[in-house]
Amino acid sequence: MAEPEDSRHIRIAIIGGGLAGTTVANALFRIPNLDVHVFESAPKFSERGAAVGLSSNAQDALKHIIPESDSLLQKAGAVPMNCTRLVLGSGPQAGTIIANIGDSTGVVVHRASLLRELLSPLPSSLLHANKKLSGIQESSPSEAGTGALPVSVRFEDGTASDFDAVIGADGIFSSVRAHVLRLPEGGGGSPDHEHAASPAGFWDCRVMIPYEKAKAALGEQYFDEDRQYGWIGDRAFVMHDIAESRTMVQCVISAVEDEGEAPADRKRKLTREYLEDILKGWLGGPIGDGAIELVLDQEDPHSYSQYDHKSTPTYARGSVCIVGDAAHATSPWQGAGAGQAFEDAVILETLFRKVQSRRDIEAAFKAFDAVRRPRGQQVIDSSRGTGKILTGSDEAVGLDPDKMRAALGPRWAFIMSLDLNEHKKEALQKMEEYQRQK
């Protein structure tokens, strides 16, 4: 005989074990009536890529989920960002300080180290590596009440498992997003589809360099204190900051990528000739030559086109929802993507604490969509515009320091000023509203 639905634990599958999936798992696994599992396609839970900056809103959200997050960040080797000092990097005025912007309490943390610390509180029985999602099947309304769980997930290894809810945290080209938005086959669909990820108009290359080597190449004077530097110049941007308990430096070169220029696989080989052409106005200045040397010193130096989600009509459908980059992949210009994933996790935790049975899940996901989607889209759109200013390619601002100060100054306020308790309250009100409508 089927077990009565209300007496059983609610089974939740999180697809994807990056920063979003593991943070959502941390937020949900302690809720007593939930049985949470994380499925990751890679052979082990791991992060590629360089460092992320976590501003005050990201840190606040992490603290809501993991009260001992300060020590977690310390264990992950986080280093203060101390605002971003913006300096002109090209042209005759190169070296002119424009402003210190952003968050004085922000930190920079290596992604792999942050993921390691986010995984550490999670029981290993929750974590399933080598499990690539290949399909999702939701039961039809006629199957409701039969005791069968409403969502079946299939994996590429031929196995399948049933759940009460599925949370897609499978990144920018998410298969769960494709399911929720009914996109064409192929993990996110083609970039031509209006709801699939498409080029944001920039490329970037990020490398991690031992501290002393980076200091020698970039200039000792920029390492007197822990600080993120952003160098603005003609159609390009160079950034450096410190991570891994001051043993490593992240160095980034970004540039404008005109429409139609993004390679199909997003990857572009970087040669000296190409970089010196892109940064021609920077050569002989304070930072261009050093940044080029550090990038070319890597094995197979290459960049990736930045992609983002221009529009997303919903984050939820029935018992399936999307979070993190699967829901709102943004270009990195405001350093806000991971923080958005942490905020998603806070809201899901708040809502799932009110989920008593499977019947409440749809209302919880609808409420999640209602409060999180406007904010996610605002970050994406603001970030793309910020990229234009930071590469000197915003026509109204150009490379004029005063206009840059005026244009950039207010851009971070909406990200950092979120009142998380109000946001949680709003989500709960929405959930009650949807429950009443049922």
Question: What's the number of CA atoms in the CB half-sphere (13 Å) around residue 42?
Answer: 10
Q: Given the rule CB under 6 A, which of 2-10, 222-230, 330-338, 356-364 is the region that contacts ligand FAD?
A: 330-338
Question: What's the number of CA atoms in the CB half-sphere (13 Å) around residue 50?
Answer: 25
Residue 283 CA to its chain's centroid (Å)? 32
Q: Given the rule CB under 6 A, which of 166-174, 310-318, 391-399, 410-418 is the region that contacts ligand FAD?
A: 166-174
Pairing of strands 165-168, 10-15: parallel
Give the shortest CB-341-to-ligand FAD separation in angstroms: 4
132 binds ligand FAD (CB under 6 A): yes
Site string for ligand FAD, 167-186 (x = CB under 6 A): --xxx---x-----------
189 binds ligand FAD (CB under 6 A): no
Residues 295-324 close enough to bind ligand FAD by CB under 6 A: 324
Helices 19-28, 111-119: axis angle to 10 degrees equals 20
CA–CA distance, 55 with 230 (Å, rounded to integer): 16
Site string for ligand FAD, 55-74 (x = CB under 6 A): ---x----------------
Q: Which is nearer to ligand FAD, 34 or 239 (CB)?
A: 239
Out of 53, 150, 188, 285, name the contact with ligand FAD by CB under 6 A: 53
CA–CA distance, 59 with 63 (Å, rounded to integer): 6
The residue count for binding ligand FAD (CB under 6 A) is 33
Contacts of 306 (CB under 8 A, 6+ apart): 199, 200, 201, 202, 203, 204, 254, 257, 331, 332, 387
19 binds ligand FAD (CB under 6 A): yes
Give the shortest CB-331-to-ligand FAD separation in angstroms: 8
Q: Which is nearer to ligand FAD, 295 or 341 (CB)?
A: 341
Pairing of strands 127-128, 84-88: unpaired
Out of 199, 337, 376, 392, name the contact with ligand FAD by CB under 6 A: 337
230 binds ligand FAD (CB under 6 A): no
Nearest of 214, 246, 252, 251 to residue 77 by alpha carbon: 246
Give the shortest CB-16-to-ligand FAD separation in angstroms: 3
336 binds ligand FAD (CB under 6 A): yes
* 353-358 contacts at long range (C-beta below 8 A, 24 or more positions apart): 353/31, 354/428, 354/431, 355/10, 355/33, 355/34, 356/6, 356/33, 357/5, 357/6, 357/10, 358/5, 358/10, 358/149, 358/150, 358/164, 358/165, 358/319
Q: Given the rule CB under 6 A, which of 50-58, 116-124, 137-145, 258-266 is the region that contacts ligand FAD?
A: 50-58
Q: Which is nearer to ligand FAD, 331 or 363 (CB)?
A: 331
201 binds ligand FAD (CB under 6 A): no
Interface positions with ligand FAD (CB under 6 A): 15-21, 39-42, 52-54, 58, 132-133, 169-171, 175, 204, 206, 324-326, 332, 335-339, 341
